[in-house]
Structure 1
């Protein structure tokens, strides 16, 4: 064998080794994909289930949601009293009048046995005052038990507050993996010729699909972090510091608002139900015109009612007013038109993440995005499996990207990158801590390999 022939494979191998930033990005993308991929896969699939079940929920709970009477609606006060009779001594939390004919009115009660943002909800036929059901609902969107379970599965795997770490970890790394994949896809397309091996075809599909899903992945990551425990707190602090927070409705006592309502008066002689019709009429005259609204009685004696638009299907119907039931005056108001731009974007982003913005088209897009992300994860693991040694049998995977890729990056660029990583890790703590954990594990594995080589 000639010297030229012997050195050709080594030269070809050196030519294929990633250099500079690409090698470092490739190593990070590989480790993040392998270790965080399962979290992204679970989040994507549970998100798809949540997005596609509203219609199933409407069918499953049709008895509670559907009003069979064709008579003119009773006064809202009578509907509330019918619900109160079904929950003796219940603590009235809010009232959601039937948005249109054929729907039932929801009367929400606080219950110490339920979790945060969960309410015992009694459904009332507006035409007859008959109670059609009694279920637990969750959040402003008022999801019913099926979607409530899927929501908690997506959020925390039904493990409570500790389980939220999984979804925050997925959201924290999703944008990193997505942008890293874009860099690798672009540089590979420029640097290589088409290759028709099975692994090359898988790699091409993985990269192309990732490029198509990039914007959606970044969107899910950003909106998911706003709900997270640690990064979400930093997002809230940043928005507050920049005056980007959503304006809050002032619902102090009527006396403090200058109306002089007697303490304990709710506009109904101490009976909140007696005031709901008047409060709703005042709110309607003040421009609260959405079909879906929520009336919340005063939180303390002498306080004001809040009436809020809750139709998340339209991006502007979130206005709210505070009503003094005793005098019929509007004490305060918050209009969506007056929101800071960042608050508007946050509202739209959250609603789109939940699949409720503009109805079923949002559901279809979310489902497609979730299935696409799940496919990306599966293709990524397939790529790893296809890199296994040629003679490997059974469940064998390919080797990791070689260590030491950071040495190929110019020192000044590496230092700047380290500063950026430190800042991002501080803002998204789970990202920073998990990255440190990756580095420590990698260092330990490297030392073990070195000791074996010396032995």
Structure 2
């Protein structure tokens, strides 16, 4: 192989083609994920607004026991058992009790004094839970999770190739750090696209990478690698695929999910609840705080801070008398769990309060602008009768740097690697026999 036929890095035209085809697939998903992700950022505010009618229902006077409140919730959902009791934030607030029947969970709002049932709603039917599923699985279960993960993997490729194309090659900072708004025409749209991509790329990559542990393929991949590395079954504080997200599982640990369905608890006396609440409430755990009954005979009760800001979470095990048997804080977890916890909190806009929400929102808006400007650029330069892909060189030089990057991405992002192989095989075996299609797709050499 001659030196002329090899090089360290690919040329501009080659990377542009990669960027084009990655964008062709990714842009609709980038727009969708940005819209749904931006909406989900404000889950705390939206859920507080939805629950406002139940925030000030109790007045002065005695309250019913927690066991009686649970019994009222169970009566509202025949055949159910207690999954979780959520400690109210204030004495005036309605008590929220999560009960389950054969894996389907229902949240019941109970008046803490009169025991009147104020509202019932399925956990999967809550507004922000639907938004979460729209964002993470397109309301299509594990199939949707695979599609979203595939789009995220190729979006990472699109961002990396976009940064290569943006990289300054001489001249000033105009069109590099800020767009030339008065340029007009194609230069205006190219500046808007490139500069926006530069400013949002770092945060966009963080959001994409932090969402992968939830995805069906990548999450299972990580769990399998950890199981081999650690030599034992791995318990994680997040779930994978269609089961992912809040409100879909019982307590972690002894109450870990089975097949994505919340574990059914045996019917027991709930009389210890008041003693447990008396032990847990003074600890001031980050809310919401959930108490769950034993998963089986001889098992402890569990209490958990289910805070969206995951570094604030704490898990407790208690006996029926309210004595704390064990406590597990976020800082005591394995490094991988802590890294994912920080990433999830960052992804959901909970890690550093409203500022995290603002940065994520600006990133989502930037990705929407990237999508629109990318489509405009493509449409303005697209020749009549073809897709408009950048021209392919007759004999592109082999770039070992690109090969190394692709192999690394294929290992780290298995769905990207698998689909890339599938696309290359389709081009070699099928599209080679369809010259018209090859010309339209831009696969024929110029």
Size of the alignment, in residue pairs? 400
Aligned-partner SS, 1:94: strand
Q: In 2 relative to 1, CA 406–279 (structure 1 residues): closer, same or farther, beyond 3 Å?
A: farther
- Give the Cα separation in 2 of the matches to 1:158 and 1:447: 37
In the TM superposition, residue 88 of structure 1 has moved relative to its aligned partner by: 3.8
Q: Does the 8 Å contact 1:171/1:221 carry over to 2?
A: yes
TM-score normalised per structure 1: 0.77
CA distance in structure 2 between the aligned counterparts of 1:133 and 1:159, rounded to whole angstroms: 28
* Deviations 1:285-305 (CA, angstroms, capped at 9, x unpaired): 7x4633431111011122111
In structure 1, list runs of 5 or more residues that go unmatched: 1-18, 139-143, 253-265
Cα distance in 2 for partners of 1:290, 1:159 equals: 32
Q: Is 1:204–2:191 an aligned residue pair? A: yes
1:440-455 equivalent positions in 2, closer than 5 A: 440-443=425-428, 445=431, 448-449=434-435
The answer to whether structure 1 residue 92 and structure 2 residue 82 are counterparts is: yes
Q: 363, 376, 379: which is aligned to 1:382?
A: 376
Structure 1 CA distance for aligned equivalents of residues 269 and 10 of structure 2: 69
Matched with 2:161 is 180
- 5 Å-filtered alignment, 1:89-168, equals 89-112=79-102, 114=104, 119-138=105-124, 145-168=126-149
SS in structure 1 at match of 2:317: strand
For the 8 Å contact 1:63–1:132, the answer to whether it is kept is: no
Matched, 1:41 2:31: yes
Residue 310 (1) aligns with residue 296 (2): no
Partner of 1:322: 317
**SS in structure 2 of the partner of residue 274 of structure 1:** coil
| 1:8 alignment counterpart | none
Determine the C-alpha separation between the residues in 2 that align with 1:397 and 1:407: 22
Cα deviation digits, residues 168-209 of structure 1 (max 9, x gap): 112212222112111110145669997946112211111100
> C-alpha distance in 2, partners of 1:63/1:103?
9
Specify which of 383, 400, 417 is matched with residue 389 of structure 2: 400
Following superposition, the deviation at residue 343 of structure 1 comes to 2.0
Secondary structure of the structure 2 residue equivalent to 1:272? coil
Q: Which residue of 2 aligns with 1:371?
A: 365
Pick closer, same or farther for the CA change 1:418–1:405 going to 2, 3 Å: farther
Aligned to 2:270: 273
Change (3 A) 1:69 1:189: farther
How many angstroms apart in 2 are the aligned matches of 1:406 and 1:192? 34
Larger Rg: 1
> How many Å apart are 1:438 and its aligned residue?
3.4
Residues 350 and 53 of structure 1: CA distance in aligned 2, closer, same or farther (over 3 Å): closer
- More deviation, 120-129/65-74: 65-74
Deviation at 1:445, TM superposition (A): 4.9
Give the stretch that moved more between structures: 99-108 or 316-325.
Answer: 99-108
State how far apart, in whole Å, the 2-side matches of 1:224 and 1:449 are.
40
Identify unmatched segments of 5+ residues in structure 2.
1-8, 238-250, 256-265
Instruction: Quote the residue 2:18 is aligned against.
Output: 28
1:193/1:356 CA distance change after superposition, 3 Å: closer
Q: Is the 8 A contact 1:169 1:430 kept in 2?
A: yes
Structure 1 residue ranges, 4+ long, deviating more than 6 angstroms after superposition: 191-195, 450-454
- The answer to whether the Cα contact below 8 Å between 2:73 and 2:99 also exists between their aligned partners in 1 is no
Q: Distance in 2 between matches of 1:81 and 1:342?
A: 40
Q: Secondary structure at the match of 1:123?
A: strand
Structure-1 residue corresponding to 2:410:
425
In structure 1, distance between residues paired with 2:285 and 2:19: 49
Give the 3 Å change call, closer, same or farther, for CA 82–358 of structure 1 in structure 2.
farther
Is structure 2 residue 218 aligned with structure 1 residue 221?
A: no
Kindly indicate whether the alpha-carbon contact (under 8 Å) linking 2:292 and 2:303 is maintained by their aligned counterparts in 1.
yes
Instruction: Report the alpha carbon displacement of residue 430 of structure 1 after superposing the two structures with TM.
Output: 1.9
Distance, in Å, in 1 between the alignment partners of 2:44 and 2:343 is: 19
CA distance in 2, matches of 1:172, 1:343: 22
1:423–1:302 CA distance, 2 compared to 1 (3 A): same
Q: Distance in 1 between matches of 2:380 and 2:139?
A: 35
Give the match's secondary structure for 1:431: helix
Residues 54 and 93 in structure 2, CA contact (< 8 A), matched pair in contact too: no
Question: What is the TM-score with the length of structure 2 in the denominator?
Answer: 0.78
Single out whichever of 94-103 and 378-387 deviates more from structure 2: 94-103
Q: 1:277 to 1:379 in 2, by over 3 A?
A: same
The whole-number CA distance in structure 1 between the counterparts of 2:138 and 2:130 is 9
Contact 2:149/2:415, CA 8 A, preserved across alignment: yes
Aligned 8 A contact 2:317 2:324 in 1: yes
Deviations 1:228-266 (A, max 9, x none): 1111212223445556975897649xxxxxxxxxxxxx9
Q: CA deviation at 1:321?
A: 1.3
RMSD: 3.4
Aligned to 1:14: none
Are residues 100 and 64 of structure 1, via their aligned partners in 2, closer, same or farther at CA, if it must alter by over 3 Å?
closer
1:113 shift after superposition: 6.8
